[in-house]
Every structure is written in C-alpha cells, then in structure tokens.
Amino acid sequence: MAIRLEKGQRINLEKNNGSKLTQFCVGCNWGAVTKKAFFGLSSSIVDVDLDLSCLLFDQNGKPIDHIYSSLYRFGDRNIGLPNGKLDTLDHALHHIGDDLTGDQGGDDGLDNEIITVDLTKINPNVNSIVFFLNIYNNNDYQGDFSGIPYAYIRMYEGTPTKVKEVFAQYDVATKTDCAGMRGLILGKLYRRNGDWKFAAIGDAYPDRSIVNTLARVMKDYSK
C-alpha cells in the first residue's frame, strides 16, 4: 500500500519485502482548469504549466547539479544560474520533458512530468536532492495550487508510461497551506549512514518565478 505522505514526514526507501527502493520515478500529475463563463452556460479549458525540478547538493550544501526545464535559459541572461537541462551529469536522474498544459480530458492515470531516478548510478559526492514545483509565470493560468485539479506528486516503481507500484504520494491540491501559493518545496532525498531516505517537506511559497524558488532552495534546504 502506498504511503500517504504528510508534511515533515520522513521515510526509509524500503519496500514491503524489505528490499531497498533504488530505481523509481518521481512524477507530478495535474489537470487543466475548466473556466466557466456566461453564468455557467459555457466553459473553456485553461492550460496549466507546472514545472517539476530538482537541485543536487554535496554534504556541505553546495549545489553541484540540477534538473529543470530546458526552456529556462538563465545562462543567456547572465543572472548567475545555469540553463535548464533534463539529465544530471552522471545520468542517474532524467526528466522526460516539459508538459505545458496538464490533462485536458480528465485524469489519464499517468503523470505529466516525471524525473526518473537510479540511485545506483548517482555521483558519490551527491548528498541530497531537493524536488520542487512551480507554476510557470507566463502561463494562461494565474491562479494557485489550490485551483488545479488533482495536483499531486508521487514516487513509484515503473516507467514514465506504466506505473507498476506506487511507493509514496503527496497530494498538493488538498493542502490548505497551498492556497495562494505558486511555488512548493516538495521533498528531499538524502543520505544517512550509507542509506537513502526521503523527507516530505511541503513548504509552499508565493513565488512568481522559479528564480525565487531556486534561491530559496539553495539558501534554506541544501543541508
């Protein structure tokens, strides 16, 4: 049975049979927003662009790698942040690509953005990996997390196109402290005594740009 994560909860990456969870997907699922008009007599679909990202840190809290949408071209703007990319340098983590709309016809059971993780390949200098979520600022949707249908993040065994078994899930849309917020620090994978563990963080912020969230993660969540 999948673990329903709550804010601040810490778990071991251990399956029911006692084996370690080393290869899995971190996925985010959400739906487009239906906008009512003309006293509810008509409606339209508003695309919702959420961005699932992560930063990787060494034991001193120094950022040593990252994954976020390649559409973010920070290096071109010379603001001290690298351009987005979809693979870590060690190829242990891979982002399947940016989803710009969300599910258009109801929940299809698959996640819209996914980062695959293989802990057996990860750089030994990586001590923690922080996952976070942002609503893209230039998108048509100007609301917050609470207005997005069935937004959640989960860890599961399988592939981007087939879920084998869900290990843990954190529901975003149902959290009252996500109302009015557009940036969310989801959780952290971290090493402890040679094993990998996961902490559900669940801290939400009114960040209007991923730049704000990146700075926040590096300052407050790197250790």
* Residues in Cβ contact with 78 at an 8 Å cutoff, skipping those fewer than 6 apart: none
Six token digits for residue 2: 């999948």
CATH number at residue 189: 2.60.60.30
- Give the angle subtended at the CA of 59 by the CAs of 155 and 206, to the nearest 5°: 55
Tens digits of per-residue pLDDT, 105-153?
888 888 999 999 999 999 999 999 999 999 998 777 888 888 888 888 8
pLDDT surpasses 90 at 18: no
User: Would you state the pLDDT for residue 39?
Assistant: 60
pLDDT surpasses 80 at 38: no
Give, for 217, the enclosing helix (H) or strand (E).
helix 210-220
Q: Considering the entire predicted model, what is its pTM? A: 0.92
Report how many domains make up the chain. 1
Q: Tell me which residue range forms the domain holding 172.
A: 3-220
Separation of alpha carbons 183 and 74, rounded Å: 18
Q: How far is CA 164 from CA 72, 121, 150, 161, 195, in A?
A: 32, 21, 20, 10, 23
User: Would you state the pLDDT for residue 52?
Assistant: 96
Tens digits of per-residue pLDDT, 98-109?
999 999 888 888
